[in-house]
A and B are shown apart, each in its own frame.
Chain A
Amino acid sequence: MLKLVGVSKVHQAGEIQTTALDRIDLEIEAGEYVAITGPSGCGKSTMLGILGLLDVPTRGEYWFEGQNIAGWSEAQLNKLRRGRIGFIFQSFNLIEELTVFENVELALEYNGTPARERRERVTAMLNKLGVGHRAGHRPSQLSGGQQQRVAIARALVSGPAVLLADEPTGNLDSAHGDEVMRLLRDINAEGTTVVMVTHSPDHAAQASRTLNLLDGRVMVDALQAA
């Protein structure tokens, strides 16, 4: 489903070049649950950005559902990403000016979903994640765990094939963190491919496959028992 072939990403700041990813070869099949771990600065977020079509490799090929996206414009990537990739962030990235409902609805606004269907799907998704009763609230009126549930609802409402999660439990206490991890397992069990960046070995252990990065290279690629 996702395939990186010799992918490198070099950041240029003035005369200084920093290699964030170094000749990565990686294939992720549909339905996998992949955890990416490694120390700060090892290239985890860069890899997530490339996998999520938010960034393009400096070298190498990236095949997304059978299409090589090398050389694609931002508009093309945008179109490809629309409704097919969901994102969850450590800082939730909810918009304070919008209600919970509107935050989730945002994910359906740009893929042509009719308003009525949007309402139904958002309501269903919020109910599924147990925050339906908070639909009219502002994000700041919710607890951290509830905010992350809303963020997950937004990531899933368009029915993406891939869910990319960047430290989804980083801003949560352990109880709420465990709850989010359980949700991710359930989502994966329903068939969604999940790629998660995490610092937590415990949370990484819950994935079906673990990638350990160091200095932009994959040091360990291990399958784990479910």
Chain B
Amino acid sequence: MMLRDFRIGWRLLLQQPAYSLVVIGGLAVGFAACFLLFGYVAFCLNFNSSIPDNGRVVVVKQRINVFPRPEWQLWALLSLRQVARDSGMVDESIMMKDIDMPLRVGTELRAMDFRVTDTAFRTLLNVHELQGDLQAALTQPDGLALTHSGAAKLFGSQSALGQSVQAGDVTLQVRAILPDPAANGSLQYEALVGIASSAWPARETAFTGQDRATLFMKLKPGASAATLTALLQDASERAPFNQRMKRGSLGKRLNGRNVADISLLPLRDAYFDEDMAASRTGERYGRRSNVIALAAGGLLILLLAAINYVNLATVRTLRRQREIGLRKLLGASTGQLVRQFLSEAVLTTMLAALLGLMLAWLLLPTFSDLLNRKLDGIFTPLHCAIALGFSIVIGLWAGAYPAWLAQHARPATALTGRDNSETIAGLWLRRVLTVLQFGSAMALSAGTMAVAWQTWYASHASPGIDVNRLLVLDMPFDAAGKPAADAFLDQLRRLPGVDAVSSISEAVGRDGFKLTNIIAARDGGEISIEAKQVSPNWFDANGLHAVYGQTFNPRMDPHDDKDSGGVMLNADAAIALGYATPQEAVGQPLPTGGAQIIGIAPDIRYQGLHAPAKALIYRVRPASVVMLRTSASVEQAYDMIAPLWRRNFPNAILEIQTQQRILADRYAADARLMRILAISSLTAIALAAFGIYVLSAYSVQRSRREIVLRKLHGAAGKDIALMLAREFSVLVAAGAIIGLPLAAVATQRYLASYTEHAPVGVWTLAAALLLAILVALLATTRHTLTAMRMSPALALKD
């Protein structure tokens, strides 16, 4: 390609600003979508790539089989760290554990990602301090290392090194500033202390007891991960705690399985680990199929935009027949002609790519928010260069057909101004492309509507309790039952405008803290049942009545840990314990401990609509999640409660949420999926609308003679409109045949993850079809009107 070809292409773009704007704008949207989605794919594929030898660095995975819902977690017995070291198979083995404590600078408390780790952390992860001494930070009892952004969070622009930070009652000194960990990494932290730190309350007992932490190990070159796994598995099973479990009643239910399964997960493969994606923390992981689907979505949007470019460029090439004929007459070779058209296309796509990169940069914060990932790192010079290189490929591809048309133009015909339109095959190709556009747009819009409808349905489905005027706040985890918590709850009850205060071990709709009780069934066997610890007034405060029997007496002692006031079951638990009906269980003693079953609790959707109700036992115990029924807003409640909070929990941060917000958060991933689909379908619809607009322009131009002759023979305007409508409705119908079954299958698969779903039926498909028809109607109206207004006298001028 020569500079002259680009210059001509540039002039052509300037001559037709509307055409240029539409073509470059459409392609830029495609490039932006593609860049962002491919950036996300790179984020996933390069997960943990900042860790040296990430194929040899493994994290220990554990699944405790005695739990009612065994699931994998990156959490194992701390003692396994030493087992690995003693095996001689690892270079390093470190632990990392959260310290659930905010940090204070002056009077300001900040929630931080605060962790304790070994000194070998630096060698294992190859971390180098930006300032200070990391070794000292991790070995001194008062040492603290902050990441760059952690330091900014605590100290703003002030220098953090050497400053004091309060962690509970302990004063720490900032001894090192570290770079921020890569956003696409398994290890995230803002503040670190060593295992000898006085800020780690469990420093004395953790390694002798049964504490657990996240364990990272670096295998020696050639060391067998399978051998080490077997070694750790054996050590885990032989650990005193697990031995007790195995010998106890739960051991019978294991049927030969391990108390806890142990596995090693290479950090290189961590992001796409299916076990972790299926766990409670699954949101932090990705499924390969989803990432591939998103990448395909990005390519599809770019393809749809490129199709529009091909369509528009084809129409323009057909209009330039006289120019092409003249060029040929003057001796332009096939190669020169093709080169000129390809140069024009490449110039257009490169300009679109530049605009697309700018668009992507503007949209990055929104996009990161949609995917719930920090994607700031995707704008690298290499990625931008790849995007521009890719635009050249797209330009060559999209310019090929117009170039082929130009090369096949017959100069004699073109110069006499007679018909020299593209072939029937070419027309069919462009029709097929338009059908693909409409198929995609319909599939995406039907999918969006189904997800939106189901998300709305699920987030508004009654959880089984009255969520109106219900606020939720978490007391510090270890505070429940202590004097400060009792005093705080008592003071809350006395606040004006507060109707009821109750507590529970975990908020309705949140899947965090879980308690499992082992209970003897009537047949002598033992089953594990999830337990909810509640205050005695919890049922009354939330307007709940027993299905059978009665609820707890609100005047009971909330510290009664002997179940002297009885326990409550839900219907599933009563059946699981061996009662023929839930009603039969009421008044009976629990085989273990003998506590009386005083009533059957109504079913409450603790897990939302993603999981069915399961067996539950309710016991009266101190609990840390406070449920507050008040007409005050969150802000008003904060103003009222903050003074009480500071008095009772000076080292904790007060956070108040509405119960409705917690329920909605349960569907945050669905809401994000809906937003991604909505943006994709709006883009696809816009591109399809534009595609059919261009096609209608071309069809009317191409059918001019037919239209005029039909009018000459008496066709009225509506007959012409019908003629064109028939052509376009066939395209929309073909798009529906391709897109709607895909949408139906995808919708069905999506809804299968819910226990209950909205009455979606075929409504979303019908709505997507209607939308497509409406879009096609609007997009073709202009040229249909032009056709209807064509004068039959034009027949005499042909």
The answer to whether A and B assemble together is yes
Interface residues of A (CB under 8 A from B): 45, 48-49, 54-55, 74-75, 78-79, 81-83, 87, 89, 91, 93, 95, 97-98, 106-107, 109-111, 154, 158, 166
Q: Convert B56-95 into 0s and 1s, putting 1 for each residue whose CB lies closer than 8 angstroms to a CB of A.
A: 0000000000000000000000000000000000000000
Q: Is the CB of A110 within 8 A of B791?
A: no
**By the criterion CB–CB under 8 Å, are A54 and B795 in contact?**
yes
Contact among B705, B706, B716, B795 for A78, CB-based, below 8 A: B716
- Chain A residues near B706 (CB-CB < 8 A): 95, 97-98
Of A49, A79, A93, A154, which one neighbours B793 at CB under 8 angstroms? A49
- Nearest-neighbour CB distance to chain B for A172, whole angstroms, equals 17
Q: List 22 A-B contacts (CB under 8 A).
A: A45-B796, A48-B796, A49-B796, A54-B712, A54-B795, A75-B716, A78-B711, A78-B792, A79-B714, A82-B714, A87-B712, A89-B795, A93-B705, A93-B709, A95-B709, A98-B706, A106-B709, A106-B713, A107-B713, A109-B710, A110-B716, A110-B719
Residues of chain B contacted by A154 (CB below 8 angstroms) = 713
Q: Are A81 and B714 CB-contacts (below 8 A) given A93-B705, A95-B705, A106-B709?
A: yes
Which residues on A sit within 8 Å (CB–CB) of B705?
A: 93, 95
- Whether B21 sits at the interface, judged by CB under 8 Å, is no
Q: Digit string of B769-798 for contact with A (CB within 8 Å is 1, else 0)?
A: 000000000000000000000011101101
Q: How far is the CA of A78 from the CA of B719 in the complex (A)?
A: 12
| B716 CB, min distance to chain A CBs, angstroms | 6
A83 proximity list for chain B (CB < 8 A): 714
> A-facing mask of B697-709, CB < 8 A → 1, else 0?
0000000011001
Closest to B719 in A: A110
A87 touches B795 (CB 8 A): yes
CB distance from A65 to the nearest CB of B (A): 16
Distance in angstroms between the alpha carbons of A5 and B492 in the assembled complex: 101
User: B796 near A89 (CB under 8 angstroms)?
Assistant: yes
B residues near A109, Cβ cutoff 8 Å: 710, 713-715, 719
Q: How far is the CA of A154 from the CA of B717 in the complex (A)?
A: 21
Instruction: Output the least CB separation between B720 and chain A (Å).
Output: 10
Contacts of B792 in A (CB 8 A): 54, 78
Residue of B nearest to A154 (CB): B713
How far does the alpha carbon of A87 sit from the alpha carbon of B797 in the complex, in Å?
Answer: 13
Q: Which residues of A have CB within 8 Å of B710?
A: 106, 109-110
Query: In whole Å, how far is A14's beta carbon from the nearest beta carbon of chain B?
Result: 19
Number of interface residues of B (CB under 8 A): 18
0/1 string, B581-614, CB within 8 A of A gives 1: 0000000000000000000000000000000000
Report Cα–Cα, A69/B715, bound state, in Å. Answer: 19
Contacts of B791 in A (CB 8 A): 54-55, 74
Shortest distance from the beta carbon of B161 to any chain A beta carbon, whole Å: 80
- B796:A110 contact, CB within 8 angstroms: no
- Which residues of B are found within 8 Å of A79, using beta-carbon distances? 714, 716
Task: Give the tally of cross-chain contacts (CB within 8 A).
Answer: 62
Q: Quick one: given A93-B709, A95-B705, A95-B706, are A54 and B793 in contact (CB under 8 Å)?
A: yes
| B798 pairs with A91, CB closer than 8 A | yes
Q: Given A54-B792, A95-B709, A97-B706, A110–B798 Cβ distance below 8 Å?
A: no
Mask, B568-590, CB within 8 Å of A = 1, is 00000000000000000000000
A111 shortest CB reach to chain B, Å = 6
Which B residues are CB-close (under 8 A) to A82? 713-714
| Chain B residues within CB distance 8 Å of chain A | 705-706, 709-717, 719, 791-793, 795-796, 798
What residues on A are CB-neighbors of B716 within 8 Å? Answer: 75, 78-79, 110
- Chain B nearest CB from A82 CB (Å) reads 3
- Which chain A residues lie closer than 8 Å to B715 at the CB level? 78, 109-110
How far is B711's CA from A82's CA once the two chains are assembled, in angstroms?
A: 9
In the complex, A98→B714 CA distance in Å? 18
Bound CA–CA A122/B660 (angstroms): 73
Closest A residue by C-beta to B789? A74
17 further A-B pairs in the complex, CB-CB below 8 A; given A49-B796, A82-B713, A106-B713: A54-B792, A54-B795, A82-B714, A87-B712, A87-B795, A89-B795, A89-B798, A93-B798, A95-B705, A106-B709, A106-B710, A107-B713, A109-B719, A110-B710, A110-B713, A158-B713, A166-B796
Please, how many angstroms separate the alpha-carbon atoms of A45 and B798 in the complex?
Answer: 12
Contact status of A93 and B714, CB under 8 A, knowing A106-B709, A110-B719: no
Complexed CA–CA distance, A81 and B795 (Å)? 15
Among A54, A97, A98, A158, contact of B796 (Cβ-Cβ < 8 Å):
A54
A109 to B792, CA, bound (A): 16
Minimal beta-carbon separation of A36 from chain B (angstroms): 13
Query: Could you say which of B710, B713, B793, B798 has the most chain A C-beta atoms within 10 Å of its C-beta?
Result: B713
Measured CB to CB, the closest approach of chain B to A157, in angstroms, equals: 10
Q: Point out the residues of chain B lying under 8 angstroms from A75, CB to CB.
A: 716-717
Which residue of chain B has its CB nearest to the CB of A167?
B796
Q: Which residues of A contact B795 (CB under 8 A)?
A: 54, 87, 89, 93
In the complex, residue of chain B having the shortest beta-carbon distance to the beta carbon of A75: B716
Give Cα distance in the complex from A98 to B705, angstroms.
Answer: 12
Assembled-state Cα–Cα distance A110/B796 (Å): 20
Least Cβ distance of B419 to chain A in Å? 8
CB neighbours (8 Å) of A97 from chain B are: 706
**Chain A residue with the shortest CB-CB distance to B794:** A54
Report the minimum CB–CB distance from B14 to chain A (whole Å): 27
- In the assembled complex, the Cα of A82 lies from the Cα of B792 at a distance in Å of 12
**Residue of B with least CB distance to A81:** B714
A65 CA / B793 CA spacing, docked (Å): 20
Closest 8 CB pairs of A and B: A82-B714, A110-B714, A54-B793, A95-B706, A107-B713, A110-B715, A49-B793, A55-B793
CB-nearest residue of chain A to B797: A45
> What are the residues of chain B within 8 A of A45 when measuring CB–CB?
796
Q: How far is the CA of A107 from the CA of B713 in the complex (A)?
A: 5
Give the docked Cα–Cα distance between A13 and B796 (Å): 19
Task: List A contacts of B719 (CB < 8 A).
Answer: 109-110
Residue of B at shortest CB range from A80?
B714
Closest to A97 in B: B706
Complex interface: chain B residues within 8 A of A166 (CB): 796
Q: Bound complex: CA of A49 vs CA of B711, how far in Å?
A: 14
